Amino acid sequence: MGFGRWLSRLKGNKGESSSSDQPTVGGSSASADTGRGTEEVKFKGPNGNPSASVPEAKTHAEPLPEAQKIWEEAYNLVKNDESLKSIVDEYEAAILSELQSLTADHDGHRTGATNTNSNTSLIGELANLDPESRQNLMTRLMNKDGDRPDRFKTISQISTVLESTKTIISSALAVYPPASIAWAGVCLVLTPVFNHAEGLKENEDGFTYIISRLPWYIYLIDLLRSEAWKTGEEYQKFKIPIRKEIVNLYRLIIEYQMLTFRSYRHRSRNFAANAMGLADWKDRLQDIQSAEQQVEELVHHDHMTQVLVNLVEANKQSKSLQDFVESKDRLSEQNRLIQEFKPNPNQHDYQAYGAYYNHIVTPLEGTNNGVRNHPRFKRWESGEDRLLLLVGNPGTGKSVFTKSLLKDPSRSDSITVCSFFFKDKSGQQNNANVALCKILYELFLAQGDLVAGVQEMVKRLDKDDIRWNLDTLCDVFERATQRAARDSIIVLLDALDEADPEQRTKLLVRLRQFSSPSVKFLLTTRPIQPVLDIFQQQKEFILNLNDDLKCNESLCDDITKVANSRLETFGRDKKIDRENIKAELCDQLERHIRDNRTYLFVGLLFDYLDKQRMQRLPSKWVEIFKSLPTTVFDTYRALLDNIRKEDRADVRTMLQIVLAAQRPLTVREMNIALSISTIDVIHSTEDMELLPVENFKAWILETCHFFLVTYDNRIHFIHQTVRDYLLPKPQEDKRPEWLAADFSEESCHQALMKSCIKYISAPFVQAPLTTVNSLEQFFNAPLYTQLECQQWFCDLTQPRAASTIIVNGESAGVTRIEDSLRPSEETVMDTHEFYEYAFTQWFVHLDFIRKHEKKEWPEMLDDIQKQYVSMSFDLAEFVFCCSSLPSKKEVEVFRTMPSMGSGDRDLALSCLTQGLVTRYHRTSLFSELCYATDLAKEVIGRTDSNDQRLGRRLVDISRAYVQQYMARSGDYAQLALESAVRAIEVTSPDHVDRSRALKARSNALGARFFNEKDDDDINQAISDMESALNPTLYSLDKQDKSLFLHDYAIYYGYRYLHSRRDADRDLAIEAAQKAVDGISFRNPRRSNALHTLGVWLGVRARDTKKKEHIDQAIEVDREALKSTPPTGADRAFVLRQLASHLQLRSELEGSKDDLQEALGFACQAIHIIPDYHHLYSPCLDLHEAIRQLAERENLQHGDCDAVYIRI
């Protein structure tokens, strides 16, 4: 039976099926072959073939009372355990709610469904169900996890195994209906256990074991029906002990299922690990296995009976289910490894890439036949050749053809197509390592079984190395594809000429050497020599559209079709109705494109024609067509000549800026860069006369849409030929005079550098007027003050800046940014978006100019100072080093420069180290964190042992090591600890850095405790923090004290979770409250302190169940929410916690309003957190748990169903 039919049954639908397919989950037995004294149930194994039969006891009424008594006795032992009362109540409610719904669905008329009443036990209710109703109930219980797409994925994984085991279970339940309580427990938690990749492994292992043994458990009742019990002596000696052991075993099974149900329903409570102080999962499983052993020892006395055969065969047939369920961990690990290859948003801009891809047009029907029918393409298509390099001039439709291959509807579903479209200077879309990451990610998603071939290899690699090392990615690809079927993978790489030259060479050398029957590569490129040279010895793999006669003829025909289609549209738009005029225009168009048949040229011609005014006489169009340009460059020239004279200077500058930009500028950035370049003196923002963004975008479209295009609100050249046209070879220069004069790559960098420096020098662009306004002050400031300063700059460049810019001011030692200095939201968005680019890239452009002019840095900086007298090197250096805005790439250029304002290079590098660590928290780029530690080690190596700054530098590198440890584990905790210990040793006891060094050691120990749970670590961490908070020879700054108290609260909380001493929990709350009280309302870190306070208040509320405690936790959560930025992981953390606490109050007080509000906050958390973030899955789990509770109360779900569809 296929998955579709199985799923329809699982969902309770009736469809056509043969008798051999029945029964379904929880249903009746199949038809039986009668044997001597028994009935045998025939059923199929996992592969659908007949399997060994299991002898089944006759289905008469005699065993039913005894079976029910045994299950009732076992169930009551659990139910009467006071420590389990709340769990039993919730468990029964979950089953009874579905049972009552089942009854309601039968309109109150009992057709096998039970009418629940208080006089019948739960086991009795289940036993009274007929087979069909039992099946429907089990289906309902399995579906309680909701209709999430990931649930269906789980069902598809286990359907094959359940198909082979459900018959024996159903048959057993037909004989012993009271055992339905055990199968109900399985169905109730089966889907949650499978869906939660982060569940407790010990619990899941035990649950897997119980599922695999369930048929054996059910048939144990047969032991009590043995022919061996013929005398009272035999009964007393064997049957009573066996019965007692069976009851005990059933009790343990029911209890385990109940605890599993409760733990997965309340995952946010970590109930599975520490519920009510009960023994851990391993101990419980061991108890079950010990009980089994007791039964088996007694069973040997019954070795002559047929019962043993039943039990052995039942155990064999359920083994396949155990094997599959145990593979869940392997599948989870494979899924985790697949995510390792997904480029993160800081490595690959998905929106920009998608916009570029969508901009590639779909080919007209009937085109591209020249390539498709070419013998070389046919050899590649058939698999005779494994690689094809498609070479063609610009505008010959290579990208269009590649896209058509990607979307080929005739391709078999068994073939996986992976692709990457390179784009020069478009973020990292020109990087080969990003291309390979995307290709591997797509491949593993489509063929997940290939992950197993590289699993051990990838485990040994550094996570960051996987994404950034091209050789490593090539090795992974080669290893993975060794296991793939022949011709099952196609890799398309478009526009290799636009890839980074160094990476491109490495990639092509590897591809040329690659040989696997499973993979075929199709590459496209312009005819550039570096690419052609690599394939010099393998020319049989090259199909050159320019040189091949048949391809060329077919391409000409295709382009003619496109040209005629465009002409037809043009004629309608311009109201050209006369057929003779249309025919003449068609002839003229054909003559013009005869010697330059490219899609690009045709597109440019019609761009030029579309800009022409309507003609009074249709015949005038013939004259216009006769004078059309004849080449791409001529067309560019004609289009440029049509630009109004008053716009030409701006267009020229804008083209220079696009050409020199280190990354595509946003429309806002270009608006500022262009405006500021045209002004001699700037007094205020009003002097720039910035256009509204949409108006500026419309101006770009109107003046030079034939050169520029916007993807994801960033400005790009429309085609690579634009760059070629703007920077031509001397003999190909067709630029108009107004553009050609002094237009070179160097002048382009000069233009953009000029915009950057003029922006930096503008009076409205300054550093915050705070006590931190120099490198020295930043370096010596408390960490909170450093973070505030960095946050100010980040806020300034983000749209949300106005709502979060810091205003602080309790003491003279605390950063202050006054209200009068805060720009409005509109001002921030209009004038400060260029802030980051200007301060981080001005010297990158200067470096290009320096190298071109072959000058040394001192001379260049001196020239800049003379040319731009108002520029402050102090400000430029301060913002660059203390803002956390620059990336590793810009820092590397900065390190080649001589010292600027401060004159202290190592001081600047120390400040940059802090910035790179902070930047890591925003980008998750581990390479930047590693670079920060490398910088710090370099500076420490040059610092004299008597230098007072050595201690602080050791503290800072210890902080970076802790971050590395939290991301990668390994030896980083030990490095952090060693650095902190050394910082303590070299720091004077009367200096504030002594407390900071103690805090650093505390942080290193706390991080290690988080993973290793060593009591000595957490105790020393708390002791160090106490010493840091209580110095005797100096006073702590308020910022330092607040930071220390925050960490103090965390470590007391850690110890409480480990030891469960209420005093630790209360001290954690007290310290967290003091930390919150000491932090300004405008400090961006205040939300972290509030969140920590909320965590421990919530823990206390769960412990005490007191209304005032949960009310206090919710109040703090709401305050944290107010001070948290509206997007990002921090807000998702707070939303998730608030939703969890509201859920708890709803459970304690029965408040539907709290439950409804909790559902809304949980939904918001899912919308905010990116799906690649580690918090995403817990947010999803919490929302699902709350949604189930809301369903029972008939509350609205909100809009989160759309999120599940997206997943």
- Residue 421, H or E segment: strand 416-421
pLDDT of 839-878, one tens digit each?
Answer: 999 999 999 999 999 999 999 999 999 999 888 899 999 9
Cα torsion at 931, 936, 938, 944 (round to 10°)? 180
Q: What average pLDDT does range 908-921 have in this prediction?
A: 94
Residue 4's pLDDT band (boundaries 50, 70, 90)? very low
Sequential DSSP letters for 615-631: PSSTTHHHHHHHT--SS
Q: Which of 1185, 1206, 959, 1190 is nearest to 267 (CA)?
A: 1185
Per-residue confidence (pLDDT) for residue 313, from 0 to 100: 58
Q: What average pLDDT does range 727-756 have in this prediction?
A: 93
Does 307 lie in the same domain as 179?
A: yes
Most confident of 107-111, 605-609, 965-969: 605-609
pLDDT of 317-357, one tens digit each?
Answer: 556 556 655 565 567 677 778 878 887 776 777 778 888 88
Can you give the pTM of this predicted structure?
0.69
Are 678 and 764 a contacting pair, CB within 8 Å?
no
Q: Extract the tokens encoding 1151.
A: 């408040």
Q: Is residue 1035 part of a domain?
A: no
Per-residue confidence (pLDDT) for residue 952, from 0 to 100: 96
pLDDT of 26-69, one tens digit each?
Answer: 232 222 232 323 222 222 233 333 333 333 333 334 445 677 88
Q: Which of 36, 35, 42 is nearest to 19 (CA)?
A: 42
Outline where 527-678 has alpha helix (H).
529-534, 549-573, 579-593, 599-610, 620-626, 632-641, 645-660, 667-677
Which range is least confidently modeled, 48-57, 554-563, 776-785? 48-57
Does 564 lie in the same domain as 472?
A: no
Q: Is residue 956 part of a domain?
A: no
Does 535 lie in the same domain as 398?
A: yes
For residue 494, pLDDT over 70 is answered with: yes
Residue-averaged pLDDT of the chain? 80
Most confident of 215-219, 314-318, 431-435: 431-435
DSSP state of 741: T
Are 128 and 114 a contacting pair, CB within 8 Å?
yes
Q: Are strands 708-711 and 714-717 parallel, antiparallel or unpaired?
A: antiparallel
Q: How far is CA 423 from CA 467, 938, 950, 1108, in A?
A: 19, 36, 46, 59
Residue 1020's pLDDT band (boundaries 50, 70, 90)? very high
Q: Pick the residue with more confidence: 516 or 322?
A: 516
Does 542 lie in the same domain as 558?
A: no
Q: Which amino acid is at 913?
A: T
Residue 378's pLDDT band (boundaries 50, 70, 90)? very high
Considering 326, 347, 362, which residue would you say is the last residue of a domain?
326
Sheet with 542-544, strands from edge to edge, namely 416-421, 489-494, 519-525, 387-391, 542-544
For residue 659, pLDDT over 50 is answered with: yes
Which range is least confidently modeled, 595-604, 712-721, 761-770, 945-954? 761-770
What does the alpha-carbon distance between residue 882 and residue 815 come to, in Å, rounded to a whole number?
14
Q: Is residue 459 part of a domain?
A: yes
Q: How far is CA 102 from CA 8, 96, 98, 106, 837, in A?
A: 18, 9, 6, 7, 64
What total number of domains does the chain contain? 5
Per-residue confidence (pLDDT) for residue 231, from 0 to 100: 54
Per-residue confidence (pLDDT) for residue 1198, from 0 to 100: 55
Q: Is residue 217 part of a domain?
A: yes
What does the alpha-carbon distance between residue 580 and residue 578 come to, in Å, rounded to a whole number?
6
Per-residue confidence (pLDDT) for residue 736, from 0 to 100: 94
Considering 709, 743, 761, which residue would you say is the last residue of a domain?
761
For residue 1179, pLDDT over 50 is answered with: yes
Q: Is residue 707 part of a domain?
A: yes
What does the alpha-carbon distance between residue 954 and residue 9 come to, in Å, rounded to a whole number?
65
Per-residue confidence (pLDDT) for residue 47, from 0 to 100: 33
Per-residue confidence (pLDDT) for residue 273, from 0 to 100: 39
For residue 1140, pLDDT over 90 is answered with: yes
Does 114 lie in the same domain as 177?
A: yes
Residue 973's pLDDT band (boundaries 50, 70, 90)? very high
Does 676 lie in the same domain as 601?
A: no
Does 360 lie in the same domain as 274?
A: no
CATH number at residue 416: 3.40.50.300
pLDDT of 523-541, one tens digit each?
Answer: 999 999 999 999 888 888 9
Are 394 and 525 a contacting pair, CB within 8 Å?
no
Per-residue confidence (pLDDT) for residue 425, from 0 to 100: 67
Beta bridge partners of 708: 717
What does the alpha-carbon distance between residue 33 and residue 1053 come to, in Å, rounded to a whole number?
64
Considering 500, 519, 547, which residue would you say is the last residue of a domain?
547
For residue 592, pLDDT over 60 is answered with: yes
Does 360 lie in the same domain as 263?
A: no
Q: What average pLDDT does range 100-107 have in this prediction?
A: 64
Cis peptide before 1031 (omega within 30 of 0): no
Angle, in degrees to the nearest 10, between helices 281-299 and 240-265 = 160
Q: Extract the tokens encoding 616.
A: 């009074």
For residue 180, pLDDT over 90 is answered with: no
Q: Is residue 26 part of a domain?
A: no
Q: What average pLDDT does range 559-563 have in this prediction?
A: 90
Q: How far is CA 478 from CA 396, 450, 473, 512, 565, in A?
A: 32, 11, 9, 13, 45
What does the alpha-carbon distance between residue 425 and residue 1039 come to, in Å, rounded to a whole number?
43
Per-residue confidence (pLDDT) for residue 103, from 0 to 100: 67
Per-residue confidence (pLDDT) for residue 160, from 0 to 100: 42
Which range is least confidently modeled, 321-325, 631-635, 918-922, 1034-1038? 321-325
Per-residue confidence (pLDDT) for residue 69, from 0 to 100: 84
Which range is least confidently modeled, 140-144, 501-505, 508-512, 771-775? 140-144
Q: Which of 561, 611, 604 is nearest to 586 (CA)?
A: 561
Q: How far is CA 264 from CA 17, 187, 283, 496, 1135, in A?
A: 35, 13, 19, 50, 20
Beta bridge partners of 391: 525, 544
Domain with 1201 in it: 1145-1206
Does 424 lie in the same domain as 296?
A: no
For residue 14, pLDDT over 50 is answered with: no
Are 907 and 874 a contacting pair, CB within 8 Å?
no
Q: Which of 470, 465, 464 is nearest to 432 (CA)?
A: 470
Does 351 lie in the same domain as 293?
A: no
Are 1084 and 815 a contacting pair, CB within 8 Å?
no
Sheet with 54-56, strands from edge to edge, namely 32-34, 39-41, 54-56
What does the alpha-carbon distance between residue 184 and residue 179 come to, in Å, rounded to a whole number?
9
Per-residue confidence (pLDDT) for residue 270, from 0 to 100: 42
For residue 655, pLDDT over 60 is answered with: yes
Are 622 and 584 a contacting pair, CB within 8 Å?
yes
pLDDT of 781-828, one tens digit each?
Answer: 998 889 888 888 887 877 543 333 333 323 333 333 333 333 344 444
Q: Is residue 148 part of a domain?
A: yes
Does 522 lie in the same domain as 405?
A: yes
Who's near 440: CB < 8 A, 6+ residues apart? 341, 418, 473, 476, 477, 480
Q: Pick the residue with more confidence: 173 or 145?
A: 173
Q: Which of 188, 314, 317, 332 is nearest to 256 (CA)?
A: 188
- Residue 33, H or E segment: strand 32-34
What does the alpha-carbon distance between residue 298 and residue 240 come to, in Å, rounded to a whole number?
11
Residue 113's pLDDT band (boundaries 50, 70, 90)? very low
Percent of the chain with pLDDT over 90: 39
What does the alpha-carbon distance between residue 532 and residue 256 come to, in Å, rounded to a whole number?
67
Q: What average pLDDT does range 961-980 have in this prediction?
A: 92
**Scanning the structure block, which residue is given the tokens 């220069």?**
733
Q: Is residue 535 part of a domain?
A: yes
Q: Pick the residue with more confidence: 1126 or 504?
A: 504
Q: Extract the tokens encoding 656.
A: 């220079």
Does 700 lie in the same domain as 658?
A: yes
pLDDT of 384-430, one tens digit each?
Answer: 999 999 999 888 889 999 998 988 877 888 899 999 999 886 667 88
Are 1004 and 958 a contacting pair, CB within 8 Å?
yes
Q: Which long-range contacts (CB under 8 A, 24 or more apart) does 101-109 make?
A: 101/140, 102/133, 102/136, 102/137, 102/140
